[in-house]
Amino acid sequence: MSGKNLTAVSIASTRTTQIIDITKDVADSVKRTAISNGICFVYVPHTTAAVTINENADPDVKSDIIMGLENIVPDDPGYAHAEGNSPAHIKSSIIGSSVNILIEDGQLVLGTWQGIYFCEFDGPRSRKVYVRVMAG
C-alpha cells in the first residue's frame, strides 16, 4: 500500500524481541511527500508489535527497554491465550501502536537524542509500518 501521503514500510525482525530504528525510513517517507509543515502519523497494524520514540544515541537503551518489559511482563505458562504469545500482546499494549511527529521545513521534529523505533515482541516476522503525512 502506498500513495502520495501514505507509505508502507517493510520490516523484517530477526529475533523474538527486537527494537529496530526506523527513523530514516520514516524521514524518507516524509521527504517523498514534499510536505513542508504538518504531522507524521506512524502506525503499527500488528497486535504483537509496537512503535515508540526514545533515545537513539546509546544502544544500551534498547536492551534496557527490552529487559524492563521482560521484568514487567514475564513469560509465564499461566496465560490463558492458547497461541502462547500473551506476553507479546501485553508488551505491545504497554508501548502502543502509534506515534505522531511534527514536521517543520520538511524535517521530522525530533529531539537531539530521539529516534523512532519499531518494537517486535513475537518475531522473527515480516511486518509493515504505515506512515501517513498530512499538511497543516
Q: How many domains does the chain have?
A: 1
Class of residue 7 by CB neighbours under 10 A (exposed 0-12, middle 13-18, buried 19+): buried
Express each pLDDT in 16-66 by its tens digit. Answer: 999 999 999 999 999 999 999 999 999 999 999 999 999 999 999 999 999
Query: What is the pLDDT, as a whole number, of residue 132?
Result: 98
**H or E element in which residue 66 lies:** helix 60-72
Compute the half-sphere exposure of residue 7: CA atoms within 13 Å on the CB side of its CA: 21
Q: Give the residue numbers spanning the domain of 76.
A: 6-135
Cell numbers that stand for 124 in this block: 522473527
Query: What is the pLDDT, as a whole number, of residue 3?
Result: 60
CATH assignment at residue 118: 2.60.120.460
- The answer to whether residues 132 and 41 touch, using CB atoms and an 8 Å cutoff, is yes
* 1 within some domain: no
Kindly report the pTM of this predicted structure: 0.94
